[in-house]
Structure 1
């Protein structure tokens, strides 16, 4: 069967500043929470590889852009590092960073690749974290100033902006489940973080539109569908709805509809952990919704009614309202431990079409992390990652189906272009179209999937 995608479909990949740029003498970058946490506890990071040893895009961006062009990209998303541009989070702008991002943007454009720029990808400047990070209302104002600075510096050429990537992750990782610094387990703080991220996003959108720039601005959300164990069991269905409210709709509803989900508001009121909402906040959120929605999808969430006892030791948690369900016989990526469920991407796109006004959207991340890819190197030194080609193909079939049914999906970006550093996992699992040899000065080699992707982009689809 032939799968053809709409004209001008965005074919490309996604990355982030903190996961790719690296740190170099004289680059002027300030400390962020990842730099600090690595200095504090390097043993928490796989093979003790920290954010200073990422894929060195800061010095290799010209080579990288040529490789993107070679594998068929017409678009590419990355992020500006707040701590690179404004080293203390507020105050002086780092001219070396301005020069770097200008050169990077210009190089992309000169090679026919449209830059999509995200403003926040989990990398809070340390000076702001020391004052509470996203728990502190002042961070919202600092972020809006940072966003405006980016729009002023780069908005003449960057026409696709995003306020946050996966804003639920700093909530979960930093304030509930201990996989991001500062590793707190305090739901009241988690709620404040989520509220301030939502408010910061709306205020940045407001500023962007007030500046009358001729692009668009959105948000990137990891919309992990929550499936009940038994669709005919009302308790399972209710539990799945609660998981959805906590982890998806907490950002999706305000971003697209300008309001918070009722189920979530009911819970935080019952727990007496409503954040401080100042006069005018809710109107700002209501009136500054996104132009464009980026959707990240990796795996589904399987949910059942709460059966295990509630653990009171940390106070309230989202898991007090549901249990995870380990579905038998699921297809799984054994390296990452994640379920592979291709139809999930179709279900998300259908939901966005039916319940969120068919907002203009695109798949901004989807990918497969594999450990030990060197096992698949052929005699020519290329990694034959047929499993990645299969993964992307099967997801694209469902994206195509959703588009055929009317979903306003404009593109597909895989995570990621070249293998990059992934937080505490460092380089344990590789995701790229292009391999990076961190032991050999970051040498790049296109994988089989990269060559395959070029044919898909050139043909604006594929035959299967």
Structure 2
């Protein structure tokens, strides 16, 4: 591995910070949605707002040289008028200064789902004004932190929060509407391009990219019908984000198909020009599993995801397009996530061949129930998972892919959206019932040893 390779863990503002109404932070859409629906929330989460120094010190002690985290828009911008909350900026300056103190390279995301509620009340990502508001927020962040950050990303996982919020309806704002999904998707990708444009025009140092919830697509066989289903699935899962961000164009076949049944007049020529001219410097890929599909065989669209941890509750079928299926030969988690490291290897090679941009694996991990009251969580399953996925990265690099970093999800146990804190991903255990006590898991020490060997301790193998 290159000596400049970034090894770290990742978090997100809403999922770890807590302090949801502290120091003039205003509510996010998630604050309101979870409070109104009486669901487990991130009001306290991992209390990273107050324990960031301990957490970053533990990263350093764990051998990590980088920390991927997100800034909270509602903590930084007070209102629709764009007024800045200096206390919010001060908090992130403290995080950045602590990273420098421990020689940790920050890798910073502008938007990880927590839209300010004052914008959600105007329509959220259906309101085109939010694009300009995001650009303003981005400029404030670049100006405030530009001398401390060289690795920026505009959005984390547009596909995930757009599809879940506007098509599936299990995330805020809770719509199930293809037309709204299209508008939100377009506005997010236009906003991302505006963020890139502002970065370039400001002459800030470093590079800027986007982070995508990557699910490489496989088919059940090599038939023509399956290949057509794979293209539909790839457009739905990946291409409308990666093609648009990296190549500057929405997939034309996707737009052509949607235009048969929906209004696409919201796509404006001058804005498409901005998207075309402001592509990213790199791509961040969050990988948990692939998408295995077969041709559509009938029935209405079904999109459901497992938030209970009871196997068998996930279903993805898009009428006329494709059906997602499970491979009975592969293990899945209690949340129906297939464990398939070969998908990462193949997907990295595909992404490199298609875009020829540097790649960072910006999230990778396994979520499980764990008893954190023990002296140390012996998470051999996580060690095995990380070994096999880092091995997949190395295999892809051996085949020419330019991969520059790996971030375990997550740095420590945190709030996992509608899965609450039951679903644990961290390298460090957090006892949410016992004053947020932090205890490194076995995987934390394994990761440290692996980093110190610069990958030499990975058990290598070729996948079938």
Q: Assess if the C-alpha contact under 8 Å between 2:82 and 2:133 holds in 1.
A: no
Residue correspondence of structure 1 range 25-424 to structure 2 within 5 A: 26-42=22-38, 45=39, 49-231=40-222, 233-310=223-300, 318-333=318-333, 335-356=334-355, 358-374=356-372, 377=374, 381-424=375-418
Partner of 2:307: none
Q: Assess if the C-alpha contact under 8 Å between 1:21 and 1:57 holds in 2.
A: yes
Cα 1:251–1:419, aligned 2, differ >3 Å: closer, same or farther?
A: same
User: Aligned partners of 2:87 and 2:342: how far apart in 1?
Assistant: 44
**By how many angstroms is 1:8 displaced?**
1.2
Cα 1:110–1:384, aligned 2, differ >3 Å: closer, same or farther?
A: same
User: Aligned partners of 2:420 and 2:378: how far apart in 1?
Assistant: 22
Structure 2 spans left out of the alignment, 5+ residues: 303-316, 460-464
TM-score, normalised via structure 1 length: 0.93
User: Aligned partners of 1:456 and 1:352: how far apart in 2?
Assistant: 26
User: Aligned partners of 1:169 and 1:109: how far apart in 2?
Assistant: 32
**By how many angstroms is 1:318 displaced?**
4.2
Q: Assess if the C-alpha contact under 8 Å between 1:83 and 1:89 holds in 2.
A: no
User: Aligned partners of 2:5 and 2:21: how far apart in 1?
Assistant: 39
CA-to-aligned-CA distance 1:346-383 (integer Å, 9 cap, x gap): 11111122111x211110001000113448x3xxx011
CA-to-aligned-CA distance 1:118-146 (integer Å, 9 cap, x gap): 01111111110111111110000000000
Asked if 1:436 corresponds to 2:430, the answer is yes
TM-score, normalised via structure 2 length: 0.93
Structure 1 spans left out of the alignment, 5+ residues: none
User: Aligned partners of 2:140 and 2:301: how far apart in 1?
Assistant: 45
Question: Which structure has more RCO (C-alpha within 8 Å, separation ≥ 6)?
Answer: 1
User: Aligned partners of 1:10 and 1:98: how far apart in 2?
Assistant: 25
Q: Assess if the C-alpha contact under 8 Å between 2:301 and 2:318 holds in 1.
A: no
Partner of 1:419, secondary structure, is coil
Count how many residue pairs are aligned between Structure 1 and Structure 2.
445
Partner of 1:332, secondary structure, is coil
Q: Assess if the C-alpha contact under 8 Å between 2:135 and 2:194 holds in 1.
A: yes
Segments of 4+ moved more than 4 angstroms = none
Q: Assess if the C-alpha contact under 8 Å between 1:298 and 1:366 holds in 2.
A: yes
Q: Assess if the C-alpha contact under 8 Å between 2:372 and 2:430 holds in 1.
A: no
What is the root-mean-square deviation of aligned Cα atoms in Å? 1.6
**By how many angstroms is 1:310 displaced?**
2.8
**By how many angstroms is 1:97 displaced?**
0.8
